[in-house]
Chains A and B, each alone.
Chain A
């Protein structure tokens, strides 16, 4: 069970997206875990072959408990267990296995009987994912022919069976057999509030924040944006938020020390920019998933990534890298907020850029008063890593970039 935030203690496995015997590559999405931040898609960070799945969908496990065993490429196969659902006791006998995975496990009331002693005590051999899918679809596993080792029914077999007989009579599912609904946020607001409280308390305890504020004339950016969007269908239109993020990411080239992570006693600047974007949830709370490798994304690609992240945040389908690997966060109030926001840095990051709501304001331009769209940009930054002068250079660079929107 990976840690998806410093404050996370446990997570609930919702489903497996792999089966024993599958070959996985670094970055593949292998499972979905329910956390305080909603359902998170878990990517794997080691390539290899899946030997066995230890955790069952529905199980709640502490951080560090093994979910599955993986054989690395080139690793000996002599004593590897057969790729079939394995008893927990054997499967955890790997070097990196965390202690006592079985003890703290909470099980739902009617969890399928755990397989013990390597023998299928009840029902046909089947992977956990296949069992979960079959339970969800209300089909009998005994009627599905298995293509896995020892005739085990795999997820693909269940899917094939469903595809072949889409009108097959389905048993009405009961709350006990139905896994957590998919695609629903499933957010527990009290839990989310607790997670925010933990992260923000840590930030205020450990990070010596300093704050800067700067008013930026956005009229040039707005004029450019309006002209550009007028020629495009809604799907290709840009939001001002994309320009603000793009300008922020580019400005980091001038003050790179604001982009990185302060873990333990050490600060490590980051070469890549994983730009967190605060997304407010309508029921309260917020999540700041990251636009990964934002330094390589142009304006349209940033916009596309924002659209995708917001949609997946709302649907509760973020990936673990997106919620844990941010290197800087941007929080933008949008159109109907207040003038400025002074953020709290999201640890272990070292800076947070805030944009208030753009407003038309009186601005003195070449000695004359003009009505211009303006936004107040703020920086909250970690004094262990940077000083006000560098922070000022950064905000001034964002300003400069926004005066030339066509070059963003």
Chain B
């Protein structure tokens, strides 16, 4: 998957768990919790959605890698490649 495709998929899952967020306004470096206001339940639901979509385990220890869209795209790309 290209980084752009991963980004699109990530934003799709993000807006499915947070339907009030407009994907066009999400900056690559916005912090999901501090800037976009996701709470721990929203974040866990996002991890669940990404887990199902990409088939990756995403252990809790890796949660910081999903802190922003840019970091998440890098993390997911690397995890799928490796």
Which residues in A have some Cβ–Cβ distance to B below 8 Å?
A: 183-185, 226, 229-230, 233-235, 237, 239-241, 279-280, 282-283, 306-307, 310-311, 314-315, 334-336
**A237 close to B44 (CB less than 8 A):** yes
The one of A230, A233, A311 in contact with B45, judged by C-beta atoms closer than 8 angstroms, is: A311
Q: Which residues of A have CB within 8 Å of B60? A: 226, 229-230, 237
What is the bound-complex CA distance between A279 and B37, given in angstroms? 12
**How many angstroms from the CA of A237 to the CA of B43 in the assembled complex?**
12
Contacting residues, chain A, for B42 (C-beta < 8 A): 310, 314
CA distance A230 to B19 in the complex (A): 29
Task: Point out the residues of chain B lying under 8 angstroms from A235, CB to CB.
Answer: 48, 51
Q: How far is the CB of B51 from chain A (nearest CB, A)?
A: 5
Is B2 engaged at the interface, CB distance under 8 Å to the other chain? no
- In angstroms, Cα B60 to Cα A237, docked, is 9
Residues of B within 8 A of A335 (CB): 33, 40
Do B18 and A314 have beta carbons less than 8 Å apart? yes
Chain A residues contacting B51 (CB-CB under 8 Å) are: 233-235
In contact, B33 and A336 (Cβ under 8 angstroms): yes
Q: Give Cα A221 to B41, complex, Å.
A: 18
Known: A241-B40, A336-B33. A234 touches B19 (CB 8 A): no
Q: Are B59 and A282 in contact (CB under 8 A)?
A: no
Is B20 located at the chain interface by the 8 A CB criterion? yes
On B, residues with C-beta under 8 Å from A are 18-21, 33-34, 36-37, 39-42, 44-45, 47-48, 51, 57-60
A sample of 7 cross-chain residue pairs with beta-carbon separation below 8 angstroms, ordered by A number, consists of A184-B19, A233-B57, A234-B44, A239-B44, A314-B20, A334-B39, A335-B40
Q: Report yes or no: B48 in contact with A283, Cβ–Cβ below 8 A.
A: no
Of the candidates B45, B51, B58, the one having the most CB atoms from chain A within 10 angstroms of its own CB is B45
B52 to chain A, nearest CB (A): 8
The verdict on A230 contacting B40 (CB below 8 Å), with A314-B18, A314-B20 known, is no
Residue of chain A at shortest CB distance from B21: A282
Tell me how far the C-beta of A138 lies from the nearest C-beta in chain B, rounded to whole angstroms.
Answer: 24
In the complex, the chain A residue whose C-beta lies closest to that of B46 is: A234
Contact B59 A230 (CB under 8 A): yes
Which of B34, B36, B41 is most buried by chain A, counting CB atoms within 10 A of its CB? Answer: B41
User: Chain B contacts of A314 at CB under 8 A?
Assistant: 18-20, 42
Q: What separation, in Å, do the CA atoms of A241 and B44 have in the docked complex?
A: 12
In the assembly, what is the distance between CA of A335 and CA of B40, in Å?
7
Contact A282 B18 (CB under 8 A): yes
User: How close is B11's CB to chain A, nearest CB, in angstroms?
Assistant: 16
Q: Complex Cα distance A335/B41, Å?
A: 11
**Chain B residues with Cβ under 8 A from A234's Cβ?**
44, 47-48, 51, 58
Cα–Cα, bound, A279→B42 (Å): 11
Q: Do B19 and A307 touch across chains, with their CB atoms under 8 A apart?
A: no
Complex CA–CA separation, A335 to B33 (angstroms): 9
What are the nearest 3 A-B pairs in CB distance?
A234-B48, A282-B37, A234-B47
